[in-house]
Protein backbone atom coordinates (compact mmCIF):
# COMPACT_ATOMS: atom_id res chain seq x y z
CA UNK A 1 0.00 0.00 0.00
CA UNK A 2 1.31 3.44 -0.98
CA UNK A 3 1.79 5.98 1.82
CA UNK A 4 2.34 9.07 -0.34
CA UNK A 5 0.64 11.08 -3.08
CA UNK A 6 3.89 11.85 -4.90
CA UNK A 7 4.02 11.05 -8.60
CA UNK A 8 7.02 11.28 -10.98
CA UNK A 9 7.04 14.14 -13.48
CA UNK A 10 7.11 13.63 -17.25
CA UNK A 11 10.76 14.73 -17.28
CA UNK A 12 11.65 12.21 -14.57
CA UNK A 13 9.83 9.41 -16.40
CA UNK A 14 11.71 10.31 -19.59
CA UNK A 15 14.98 10.12 -17.66
CA UNK A 16 13.93 6.79 -16.13
CA UNK A 17 13.08 5.28 -19.50
CA UNK A 18 16.54 6.16 -20.78
CA UNK A 19 18.49 5.24 -17.63
CA UNK A 20 16.73 2.00 -16.73
CA UNK A 21 16.79 0.86 -20.35
CA UNK A 22 20.58 1.23 -20.45
CA UNK A 23 21.12 -0.98 -17.39
CA UNK A 24 22.15 -4.53 -18.25
CA UNK A 25 20.46 -7.58 -16.75
CA UNK A 26 21.79 -8.40 -13.24
CA UNK A 27 23.31 -4.93 -12.88
CA UNK A 28 22.79 -3.08 -9.59
CA UNK A 29 21.35 0.42 -9.32
CA UNK A 30 22.26 2.21 -6.09
CA UNK A 31 21.06 5.85 -6.11
CA UNK A 32 23.53 7.92 -4.12
CA UNK A 33 22.58 8.69 -0.49
CA UNK A 34 19.23 6.91 -0.90
CA UNK A 35 19.85 3.88 1.34
CA UNK A 36 18.39 1.47 -1.23
CA UNK A 37 19.76 -0.82 -3.93
CA UNK A 38 18.01 -2.56 -6.81
CA UNK A 39 18.99 -5.38 -9.16
CA UNK A 40 17.63 -5.47 -12.72
CA UNK A 41 16.21 -8.99 -12.97
CA UNK A 42 15.15 -8.87 -16.62
CA UNK A 43 13.84 -6.44 -19.22
CA UNK A 44 10.74 -5.57 -17.21
CA UNK A 45 11.53 -6.24 -13.55
CA UNK A 46 13.67 -4.78 -10.76
CA UNK A 47 14.14 -6.28 -7.29
CA UNK A 48 14.90 -4.36 -4.12
CA UNK A 49 17.98 -6.10 -2.68
CA UNK A 50 19.03 -3.76 0.13
CA UNK A 51 17.44 -1.04 2.24
CA UNK A 52 18.58 0.86 5.29
CA UNK A 53 16.31 0.54 8.29
CA UNK A 54 15.41 4.24 8.16
CA UNK A 55 12.25 6.23 7.27
CA UNK A 56 14.06 8.19 4.52
CA UNK A 57 15.17 4.96 2.84
CA UNK A 58 11.56 3.74 2.92
CA UNK A 59 10.40 7.02 1.37
CA UNK A 60 13.04 6.77 -1.35
CA UNK A 61 11.97 3.20 -2.10
CA UNK A 62 8.33 4.23 -2.50
CA UNK A 63 9.29 7.04 -4.89
CA UNK A 64 11.67 4.87 -6.92
CA UNK A 65 9.01 2.16 -7.11
CA UNK A 66 6.49 4.67 -8.49
CA UNK A 67 9.04 5.87 -11.02
CA UNK A 68 9.97 2.36 -12.16
CA UNK A 69 6.32 1.36 -12.47
CA UNK A 70 5.62 4.51 -14.50
CA UNK A 71 8.44 3.38 -16.81
CA UNK A 72 6.83 -0.03 -17.25
CA UNK A 73 8.82 -2.08 -14.72
CA UNK A 74 7.61 -4.38 -12.00
CA UNK A 75 9.30 -3.85 -8.63
CA UNK A 76 9.79 -6.90 -6.41
CA UNK A 77 10.47 -6.75 -2.66
CA UNK A 78 11.79 -10.16 -1.53
CA UNK A 79 10.71 -11.62 1.80
CA UNK A 80 14.33 -12.04 2.91
CA UNK A 81 15.28 -8.43 2.21
CA UNK A 82 18.50 -7.33 3.88
CA UNK A 83 17.76 -4.47 6.31
CA UNK A 84 20.67 -2.66 7.97
CA UNK A 85 20.35 -0.09 10.74
CA UNK A 86 22.66 2.84 9.88
CA UNK A 87 25.12 4.06 12.53
CA UNK A 88 24.22 7.29 14.31
CA UNK A 89 27.61 8.85 13.52
CA UNK A 90 27.30 10.75 10.17
CA UNK A 91 30.93 9.97 9.31
CA UNK A 92 30.34 6.26 9.84
CA UNK A 93 27.18 6.50 7.74
CA UNK A 94 29.15 8.05 4.88
CA UNK A 95 31.86 5.40 5.18
CA UNK A 96 29.27 2.61 5.12
CA UNK A 97 27.59 3.99 2.01
CA UNK A 98 30.96 4.42 0.29
CA UNK A 99 31.86 0.80 1.03
CA UNK A 100 28.51 -0.32 -0.37
CA UNK A 101 29.12 1.60 -3.59
CA UNK A 102 32.62 0.14 -3.88
CA UNK A 103 31.23 -3.39 -3.64
CA UNK A 104 28.80 -2.58 -6.43
CA UNK A 105 31.63 -1.16 -8.56
CA UNK A 106 33.43 -4.51 -8.24
CA UNK A 107 30.57 -6.09 -10.22
CA UNK A 108 30.81 -3.70 -13.19
CA UNK A 109 31.99 -5.26 -16.43
CA UNK A 110 32.68 -4.45 -20.07
CA UNK A 111 30.14 -5.66 -22.63
CA UNK A 112 32.54 -8.55 -23.27
CA UNK A 113 32.14 -9.58 -19.61
CA UNK A 114 35.60 -8.57 -18.37
CA UNK A 115 35.49 -6.87 -14.91
CA UNK A 116 36.31 -3.15 -15.07
CA UNK A 117 38.16 -3.42 -11.76
CA UNK A 118 40.69 -5.73 -13.47
CA UNK A 119 41.47 -3.30 -16.30
CA UNK A 120 44.67 -1.25 -16.32
CA UNK A 121 43.19 1.66 -14.40
CA UNK A 122 46.50 3.56 -14.31
CA UNK A 123 46.27 4.15 -18.07
CA UNK A 124 43.40 6.60 -17.80
CA UNK A 125 42.67 9.51 -20.11
CA UNK A 126 40.64 12.42 -18.70
CA UNK A 127 38.44 14.07 -21.32
CA UNK A 128 36.72 17.43 -20.92
CA UNK A 129 33.13 17.31 -22.22
CA UNK A 130 31.50 20.69 -21.64
CA UNK A 131 30.73 23.41 -19.10
CA UNK A 132 27.14 23.68 -17.91
CA UNK A 133 25.28 26.13 -15.67
CA UNK A 134 24.34 24.09 -12.61
CA UNK A 135 21.40 25.11 -10.42
CA UNK A 136 22.53 25.93 -6.87
CA UNK A 137 19.11 27.03 -5.58
CA UNK A 138 17.23 30.33 -5.25
CA UNK A 139 17.41 30.80 -9.00
CA UNK A 140 21.20 30.96 -8.94
CA UNK A 141 23.53 28.96 -11.21
CA UNK A 142 27.25 28.31 -11.28
CA UNK A 143 29.43 27.01 -14.12
CA UNK A 144 30.43 23.35 -13.68
CA UNK A 145 32.89 21.46 -15.86
CA UNK A 146 31.76 18.01 -17.01
CA UNK A 147 34.49 15.39 -17.51
CA UNK A 148 34.69 11.71 -18.35
CA UNK A 149 37.42 9.14 -17.79
CA UNK A 150 38.47 6.83 -20.62
CA UNK A 151 39.90 3.41 -19.76
CA UNK A 152 40.58 0.47 -22.04
CA UNK A 153 39.18 -3.00 -21.51
CA UNK A 154 42.12 -5.32 -20.96
CA UNK A 155 40.26 -8.19 -22.64
CA UNK A 156 38.73 -6.79 -25.84
CA UNK A 157 40.53 -3.45 -26.15
CA UNK A 158 37.34 -1.37 -26.19
CA UNK A 159 37.67 2.21 -24.95
CA UNK A 160 35.22 2.66 -22.08
CA UNK A 161 33.88 6.09 -21.08
CA UNK A 162 32.91 6.30 -17.40
CA UNK A 163 31.91 9.01 -14.97
CA UNK A 164 34.82 10.32 -12.82
CA UNK A 165 32.99 9.37 -9.62
CA UNK A 166 32.61 5.81 -10.92
CA UNK A 167 36.30 5.70 -11.83
CA UNK A 168 37.07 6.87 -8.28
CA UNK A 169 35.10 3.92 -6.89
CA UNK A 170 36.99 1.51 -9.14
CA UNK A 171 40.51 2.88 -8.75
CA UNK A 172 40.63 4.46 -5.28
CA UNK A 173 42.02 7.78 -4.09
CA UNK A 174 45.63 7.39 -5.23
CA UNK A 175 44.92 6.89 -8.95
CA UNK A 176 41.93 9.23 -9.01
CA UNK A 177 43.96 12.09 -7.51
CA UNK A 178 46.51 12.09 -10.33
CA UNK A 179 46.58 13.51 -13.83
CA UNK A 180 48.80 13.29 -16.89
CA UNK A 181 49.12 16.33 -19.16
CA UNK A 182 50.95 16.36 -22.48
CA UNK A 183 54.25 17.01 -20.69
CA UNK A 184 53.97 16.07 -16.99
CA UNK A 185 52.42 13.59 -14.60
CA UNK A 186 50.89 15.16 -11.48
CA UNK A 187 50.25 13.31 -8.22
CA UNK A 188 48.27 14.82 -5.36
CA UNK A 189 50.05 15.15 -2.04
CA UNK A 190 48.38 14.28 1.24
CA UNK A 191 48.45 16.59 4.25
CA UNK A 192 50.85 14.14 5.93
CA UNK A 193 53.24 14.31 2.98
CA UNK A 194 53.12 18.11 2.92
CA UNK A 195 53.78 18.19 6.66
CA UNK A 196 56.80 15.88 6.24
CA UNK A 197 58.14 18.04 3.41
CA UNK A 198 57.70 21.16 5.52
CA UNK A 199 59.47 19.55 8.51
CA UNK A 200 62.34 18.62 6.19
CA UNK A 201 62.70 22.27 5.12
CA UNK A 202 61.64 21.64 1.54
CA UNK A 203 59.64 24.85 1.30
CA UNK A 204 62.22 27.07 2.96
CA UNK A 205 65.37 25.79 1.29
CA UNK A 206 64.29 26.45 -2.30
CA UNK A 207 63.84 22.85 -3.44
CA UNK A 208 60.11 22.85 -4.08
CA UNK A 209 60.12 23.71 -7.80
CA UNK A 210 58.30 20.48 -8.66
CA UNK A 211 55.56 21.01 -6.07
CA UNK A 212 52.68 23.27 -7.05
CA UNK A 213 48.96 23.87 -6.64
CA UNK A 214 46.80 23.17 -9.68
CA UNK A 215 44.33 25.70 -11.01
CA UNK A 216 41.86 25.40 -13.86
CA UNK A 217 44.64 25.20 -16.44
CA UNK A 218 48.29 24.29 -16.83
CA UNK A 219 49.48 26.33 -19.78
CA UNK A 220 46.73 25.89 -22.37
CA UNK A 221 45.53 22.53 -21.01
CA UNK A 222 42.41 22.21 -18.86
CA UNK A 223 42.89 20.48 -15.51
CA UNK A 224 40.24 17.99 -14.30
CA UNK A 225 37.98 19.88 -11.91
CA UNK A 226 38.49 17.46 -9.00
CA UNK A 227 42.16 18.50 -8.89
CA UNK A 228 41.61 22.25 -8.70
CA UNK A 229 43.28 23.75 -5.65
CA UNK A 230 45.16 20.50 -4.87
CA UNK A 231 48.87 20.47 -3.97
CA UNK A 232 50.69 18.13 -6.36
CA UNK A 233 54.17 16.93 -7.17
CA UNK A 234 55.00 16.94 -10.87
CA UNK A 235 57.34 14.84 -12.95
CA UNK A 236 58.24 15.33 -16.61
CA UNK A 237 57.11 12.46 -18.80
CA UNK A 238 60.54 12.25 -20.39
CA UNK A 239 62.04 11.68 -16.90
CA UNK A 240 59.61 8.84 -16.28
CA UNK A 241 60.52 7.18 -19.57
CA UNK A 242 64.21 7.31 -18.68
In a domain, 68, yes or no: yes
Q: How far apart are CA 54 and CA 36, in angstroms?
A: 10
Q: How confident is the model at residue 242, as a pLDDT?
A: 43
Residue 242 covered by a domain: yes
Range 187-204 average pLDDT: 87
Confidence of residue 1 (pLDDT cuts 50, 70, 90): very low
Tell whether 142 and 181 lie within a shared domain: no
The helix or strand, by DSSP H or E, that contains position 127, with its residue range, turns out to be strand 125-137
Q: How far is CA 70 from CA 35, 44, 145, in A?
A: 21, 12, 32
Predicted local confidence at residue 4, as pLDDT: 61
Identify which of 36, 76, 31 has the alpha carbon closest to the alpha carbon of residue 54.
Answer: 36
Q: How many domains does the chain have?
A: 3
pLDDT band, residue 217 (cuts 50/70/90): very high
216 falls within a domain? yes
Among 42-46, 140-144, 237-241, whose mean pLDDT is lowest? 237-241
Judge if 15 and 100 occupy the same domain: yes
> pLDDT digits over 113-130, tens only?
899 999 999 999 999 988
Among 49, 82, 107, residue at a domain's last position: 107
3-state secondary structure of 155: coil
Q: Where are the alpha helices (DSSP H) in the chain?
A: 10-22, 55-70, 90-105, 164-171, 173-176, 191-199, 237-241
For residue 203, name the pLDDT band (cuts at 50, 70, 90): confident
Which residues fall within 8 angstroms of residue 35, CB to CB, at 6 or more apart? Answer: 51, 52, 54, 56, 57, 60, 86, 97
What is the reported pLDDT for 104?
Answer: 76
| Residues 37 and 103 placed together within one structural domain of the fold | yes
Q: Is the pLDDT of residue 205 over 70?
A: no
CA 92-95-99 angle, 5° bins: 140
Q: What is the DSSP string of 62-105?
A: HHHHHHHHHTT-EEE--TT-EEEPPPSSHHHHHHHHHHHHHHHH
- Looking at residue 154, its pLDDT comes to 95
Strand partners, 185: 180, 235
What pLDDT is recorded for position 209? Answer: 67
Report the pLDDT value the prediction gives residue 119, as an integer from 0 to 100.
94
- 211, 233 contact by CB (below 8 A): yes
Residue 227 has pLDDT above 90, yes or no: yes
Strand 45-52, strand 74-76: pairing: parallel
For residue 87, tell me if it sits in a domain. yes
**Range with top average pLDDT, 95-99, 136-140, 229-233:** 229-233
Residue 86: per-residue pLDDT: 66
| Residue 79 structural domain | 10-107
- My answer on whether 128 and 50 are in the same domain is no
Amino acid sequence: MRTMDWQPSKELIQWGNEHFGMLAKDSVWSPEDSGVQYRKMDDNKFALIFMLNHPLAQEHHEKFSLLMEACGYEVEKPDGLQMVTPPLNPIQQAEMQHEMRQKIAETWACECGFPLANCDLEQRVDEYVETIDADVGDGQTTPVDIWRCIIQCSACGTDLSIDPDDYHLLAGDSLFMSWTSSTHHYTALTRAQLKDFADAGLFTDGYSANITVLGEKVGDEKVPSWLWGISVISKELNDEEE
